[in-house]
Amino acid sequence: MTPALPGRRVPTPADVVLVGPPGSGKTTVAALLCEDGSSEVVDTDALVEQRAGCTVAELFATRGETHFRELEAQAVQEAVRGTGFSAAPGRVVALGGGAVMTPRVAEELRRFAADGGHVVWLQVGAEAVAERLAGGDRPLLAGDDALARWQQLAAQRESTWAELATQVVDTTGRPPHEVARIVAERTRDEDVADRWPLGPRSGLRVAVSTSEGGDAYPVTIGHGVLDDLALLLPATGAVPPAALVVHQPGLEPVVERVRAVLEAAGTPVHVHGIEAAEAGKRLEGVAGIWEACAAAGLDRGGLLVAVGGGACTDVTGFAAATWMRGVDVVHVPTTLLAMVDASVGGKTGINTSAGKNLVGAFHQPRAVVCDLDLLAGLPVQDVRAGLAEVVKCGYIDLDEVDGWQILDRVRAGAEHSADPREWPFLAELVHRALRVKARAVAADTREAGVREFLNFGHTLGHALEKVEGFALRHGDAVAIGMVFAAALGQEHDLWPGTDEVRGLLTSVGLPTRYEGSATWEEVRVAMAGDKKARAGALRFVVLEEVCRPATLDAPDEALLRRAWEAVRA
């Protein structure tokens, strides 16, 4: 990464809270983020000293740590909420190293993150911190063995920092200006909470923009957030004069909720059902939607709403891209797979006898609402299948902003319950996976570069779906495909992590071996029709290491066969 030039101003961030151990540079970085005066910096230790009329060290000595933590928690709450501070458009808060261990502070940061704020964990290694600690006035690090004490405290607090952080930046070996620039670049997204208001049930938000310009759109994640649709429509444009809700079988109760929301906003609603799963993604399926659009009198001001899984969002999105040469679409995904993959990013398409999604268009939705309550009636294996796309995002997060946390949470989830719906951090996982995808879409909307990395596991996965007549779940096929891709990379002397990928996927109940009857020759032919192929040569996404995806063109046929053997039952 190119260091910032001395004196160079960094972009003004949105509201940010910096957490991390003593010596990580929180106070210095906060000051740099606010050096142009458009944001306000708040150091909670300084705030406590101001209120107490003495230094933190003196406060520890005279009143003890418990009293200090009480004052600190009050200072954090005031700083994060802005009570008594100026109305500057941004506010950067530097927390003391141990503040997060106070339950009241941790809860305040969870609320802050849920409202769209950024909690940035500044990491630093022990080897880099010794010089920074020299001559410091930190009461918990007093004495001759300050570094050993620092390591002990960091170990105790690390899991809490990891849980609360929405961004992680390693400061080791980086000058403060560069750290500030990285933090600013990762936190300067739009204030989604202000632009697209949340409903009373609240939720998490991701703003998705494109590399082609135009307005960003909101993705809302949470329990009971379907009613947010009533808030999103006025906030994202004019209320449409007519809407067509396209849905898969068995989702009539959800359709009625959507109908009620739209009609309450003054939009007449028409309803059209399609076949389940991939059967609805044929030319006949999209033609049926076009006919329904005509019957509903849907003009260019109209709205399509997809209620269903990934196949439904794919075909409805394609219909929206082509009806009247483009109308608005809102996605209400009802499967975990659709929430973290198909509904976001603007890829639309239908299947042909030649392959999956070969006919399609890029057409971004106006909004996406991921209501986790809609997962309640699904078979558990369908929910697990969605985790394949979550795990994929963990392995290919080139920015290393969310990837490691995704993988850690999935491991923790596997130990917590066999049903992902029972994981207390499922909303966070969906949020992090969507942030990975949103960054790729923002950088490379039409998949000419880094967005290709989202295809990790998909070259073989799509081929397996085709040879199985689309009877194999997409997530299951991608899980097998990720093991294949990891093995292929390992055969090319890249990251030797095939067993790690297999183990993680197995732990959450996903298949890692193909048990069907198709031969390698049949699968090889199916892969040759993949959209990512170039000049007839196969193209795979592989891993140089975790969060270091790469593309591999025209791999050796012998190595392809060896990778295939790694996923054969």
Residue 373 lies in a domain: yes
Residue 9 lies in a domain: no
Are 330 and 468 within one domain? no
Are 100 and 232 within one domain? no
Are 336 and 212 within one domain? yes
Are 442 and 528 within one domain? yes
CA distance 150 to 131: 13
Q: Can you read off the two tokens belonging to residue 97?
A: 């190293």
Residues 389, 428, 465, 491: which is the catalytic one? 389
Residues 247, 435, 462, 466: which is the catalytic one? 462
51 or 392, greater pLDDT: 392
531 labelled catalytic: no
Are 463 and 339 within one domain? no
Residue 314 lies in a domain: yes
Any known ligand binding at 366?
Answer: no
CA distance 535 to 46: 62
Q: Burial of 53 by CB count in 10 Å (0-12 exposed, 13-18 middle, 19+ buried)?
A: exposed
Are 104 and 228 within one domain? no
Are 245 and 372 within one domain? yes
pLDDT (0 to 100) of residue 12: 42
Confidence of residue 235 (pLDDT cuts 50, 70, 90): low
Any known ligand binding at 314?
Answer: yes
Are 242 and 180 within one domain? no
Residues 474, 491, 502, 539: which is the catalytic one? 474
Backbone Cα Rg of the chain: 25
User: Strand, coil or helix: what is 484?
Assistant: helix
Q: Which residue has the tokens 């196949």?
A: 311
* Structural domain boundaries, residue 33: 16-135+145-187
Q: What is the mean pLDDT of residues 372-377?
A: 95
Residue 418 lies in a domain: no
Any known ligand binding at 70?
Answer: no
Among 378, 393, 426, which residue terminates a domain?
Answer: 378
Any known ligand binding at 97?
Answer: yes
Residue 384 lies in a domain: no
CA distance 263 to 254: 14
Any known ligand binding at 373?
Answer: no
220: β partners: 205, 369
The share of the chain scoring above pLDDT 90, in percent, equals: 53
Q: What is the number of domains present in the chain?
A: 3
347 labelled catalytic: yes
SS (H, E, C) 368-379: EEEEHHHHCCCC
The Cβ of residue 457 has, within 10 Å, a number of other Cβ atoms equal to 29
Any known ligand binding at 334?
Answer: yes
Among 353, 378, 403, which residue terminates a domain?
Answer: 378
Are 219 and 176 within one domain? no
Any known ligand binding at 313?
Answer: yes
Residues 451, 473, 502, 539: which is the catalytic one? 451
pTM over 0.75: no
Confidence of residue 9 (pLDDT cuts 50, 70, 90): very low
Are 275 and 335 within one domain? yes
451 labelled catalytic: yes
Could you tell me if 62 and 56 are in contact, meaning their C-beta atoms sit under 8 angstroms apart? no
Among 158, 187, 216, which residue terminates a domain?
Answer: 187
Mean of pLDDT over the chain: 86
557 labelled catalytic: no
Residues 347, 363, 432, 466: which is the catalytic one? 347
User: Where is mean pLDDT largest: 59-63, 384-388, 420-424?
Assistant: 384-388
Could you tell me if 451 and 443 are in contact, meaning their C-beta atoms sit under 8 angstroms apart? yes
CA distance 257 to 261: 6
Confidence of residue 316 (pLDDT cuts 50, 70, 90): very high
435 labelled catalytic: no
Q: List, in order, residues 6 or more apart from 338 with CB less than 8 Å away.
A: 308, 309, 310, 312, 313, 331, 386
Any known ligand binding at 506?
Answer: no
Residue 307 lies in a domain: yes
Q: Can you read off the two tokens belonging to residue 223?
A: 């329990």
Are 69 and 177 within one domain? yes
Residues 178, 278, 447, 491: which is the catalytic one? 447
pLDDT tens digits for range 458-488: 999 999 999 999 999 999 999 999 999 999 9
Q: Which residue has the tokens 């078979």?
A: 379
CA distance 51 to 61: 16
CA distance 538 to 551: 10
455 labelled catalytic: yes
Are 179 and 225 within one domain? no
Closest CA to 269 of 287, 256, 280: 256
Strands 39-43 and 90-94: parallel
Any known ligand binding at 335?
Answer: yes
Q: List, in order, residues 6 or more apart from 346 with CB less than 8 Å away.
A: 210, 317, 362, 363, 364, 365, 441, 445
Q: Can you read off the two tokens belonging to residue 276?
A: 């389940």
474 labelled catalytic: yes
pLDDT (0 to 100) of residue 238: 65
CA distances from 220 to 237, 343, 365, 372, 405 (A): 17, 12, 13, 10, 20
Residue 347 lies in a domain: yes
